Amino acid sequence: MLIPYHIGFRREDLGEKPPTTALLCGDPKRASLIAQSYLQSSRLLSDNRGLNSYIGTLNSGKTIISTTSGMGASSLSIVVNELVQVGIRQIIRIGTCGSIQDNILPSSIVISSAALCKQGAANDIAPIEYPAAADPFLTVAMAKAAKKLEVEYHVGITASVDTFYEGQERTDSANPYLIRQLHGITQEYRYLNILNYEMECGTLFKMGNVYGFEAGCVCAVIAQRTVGENVIIESKESAIHNAIKIAVTAVSDYEEDVY
């Protein structure tokens, strides 16, 4: 098998019993954190194009990949396509997000069951009306993990958009002039009981259903958009660790809980 052009490793590089699960982060430092802090005997598979990928073993004995997708759905679509090519059949995105509901506070967790998907990359995967839904069993497994870990969590629909500033109705940016259709969009999403903003899971969910792999998403809440636009730095690190722990626990417990 040729080496996939972007991720930089082949199925043959994954050992005699290659893993089928990947934890996927936008931030390469987070992928490295997972490898160093949550995996045993981890090793670097590739750092091609800054897309760091590691392989290692959980405490449960399950071998997985920790990798980065880069920022945004277009980059994620490339990485996910190539992960599936090397045999990955379960992908959990571990990200960060901004809450748009009053009761979802910074440092808590959102587990996305589905997404309102406003992403150009997703439209190349399936029609715009095609549902962007997470794997239900994986979603339940993460909710059970959060409960087991006693982490505050919420399960529901995420607004998955292409841009961090305009698409999330931020005005504190280089472009303070939002196009007309984005004025009031956050309030509209709030009325629709959408929980949060993020930038990748809608495309991931569509890919999961079209390609035939299990897709899930857990995000640390690091901004409260009902109050302001800024990231709450002081709660970011602990919230990210909680999101990682939920994903790791869900993957470790998954086989005994599902089917």
Could you give the residue ranges of the DSSP H alpha helices within 86-166?
A: 120-125, 136-149
Query: What local confidence, expressed as pLDDT, does residue 2 receive?
Result: 82
Query: How many CA atoms are closer than 13 Å to the CA of 170, on its beta-carbon side?
Result: 20
Cβ atoms 71, 26 nearer than 8 A: yes
Residues 215, 209: Cα–Cα separation, whole Å: 8
Query: What local confidence, expressed as pLDDT, does residue 255 receive?
Result: 66
Per the annotation, the verdict on 6 as an active-site residue is yes
**Cα torsion for 34, 228, 116, 127, to the nearest 10°?**
-90
The answer to whether the predicted template modeling score (pTM) of the entire model surpasses 0.75 is yes
Give the amino acid at 25: C
Q: Say which of 169, 170, 198, 214 is annotated catalytic.
A: 170
Q: pLDDT digit string (tens) for 41-61?
A: 999 999 999 999 999 999 999
pLDDT of 111 over the 90 cut: yes
Q: Say which of 30, 82, 200, 214 is annotated catalytic.
A: 82
Query: What local confidence, expressed as pLDDT, does residue 176 receive?
Result: 84
To the nearest whole number, what is the mean pLDDT of the chain?
95
Query: What local confidence, expressed as pLDDT, does residue 257 receive?
Result: 47
Segment 101-123 shows an average pLDDT of 97
pLDDT of 33 over the 70 cut: yes
pLDDT of 235 over the 90 cut: no
Q: Say which of 10, 30, 93, 225 is annotated catalytic.
A: 225
Q: pLDDT digit string (tens) for 9-21?
A: 999 999 989 999 9
Per the annotation, the verdict on 225 as an active-site residue is yes
Cβ atoms 90, 211 nearer than 8 A: no
Q: Say which of 6, 49, 89, 190 is annotated catalytic.
A: 6
Ordered structural domains, the chain, with CATH: 11-257 (3.40.50.1580)
Query: What local confidence, expressed as pLDDT, does residue 52 receive?
Result: 96
Segment 233-250 shows an average pLDDT of 95
In which residue are the tokens 């996910």 written?
Answer: 80
Provide the pairing of β-strand 214-224 with 90-99. parallel
Q: pLDDT digit string (tens) for 64-109?
A: 999 999 999 999 999 999 999 999 999 999 999 999 999 999 999 9
CA dihedral sign, ordered 89, 94, 95, 98: positive
pLDDT of 256 over the 90 cut: no
